[in-house]
Amino acid sequence: MTPDSETIALAAARAASDKKAENIRILDLRKVSSFADFFVICTGTSDPHLKAIGSEVRERLRDELGLTAHADGAPASQWIVLDYNGVLIHVFQPDKREFYDLESLWRDAPEVPFEDAPAG
């Protein structure tokens, strides 16, 4: 059975947090968007950090939920997007995150509570 989109978003946020992603936010787009259910938005501090966060999210969602993602972007672009059929995980470097400002663009979307701290 495929997990629901909120379960996927929370699992992705936990995986990102475990790799020390910063300022993790989960936006619930179900009532304001027809193309996505959730955005998980987080910040990495360098190209290697973006790569590590993206890899951890892909591995954890594959291992824990049996899911694979379509990925776009690269650490060199300072923005990676992982698409899990309605759950989009955006991993930005700080300047790109500020430039695109997805939180403001989607300010009508409620935020899902998430404790931004690594497990353990």
> Most distant CA pair in the chain: distance in Å?
39
Q: How many angstroms separate the CA atoms of 23 and 94, rounded? A: 10
Residue 61 is inside which H or E element, if any? helix 47-65
For the entire predicted model, the pTM comes to 0.92
Q: Is residue 83 a part of any domain in this protein?
A: yes
Q: Is residue 26 a part of any domain in this protein?
A: yes
Q: Is residue 38 a part of any domain in this protein?
A: yes
Q: Is residue 65 a part of any domain in this protein?
A: yes
Q: Is residue 82 a part of any domain in this protein?
A: yes
Bridging pattern class, strands 79-83 and 111-112 = unpaired
Q: Is residue 116 a part of any domain in this protein?
A: no
Q: Is the pLDDT of residue 34 over 70?
A: yes
- The predicted structure's pLDDT at residue 78: 94
Which pLDDT band, with edges at 50, 70 and 90, does 117 fall under?
low
How many domains in the chain? Answer: 1
Q: Is residue 117 a part of any domain in this protein?
A: no
Kindly provide the residue ranges of all beta strands, DSSP E only, lying in the chain, ordered along the sequence. 22-28, 38-43, 70-74, 79-83, 87-92, 111-112
Mean pLDDT calculated for residue range 31-40? 95
pLDDT tens string 64-98? 999 999 889 887 889 999 999 899 999 999 999 99
Q: Is residue 31 a part of any domain in this protein?
A: yes
The domain of 84 spans: 5-104
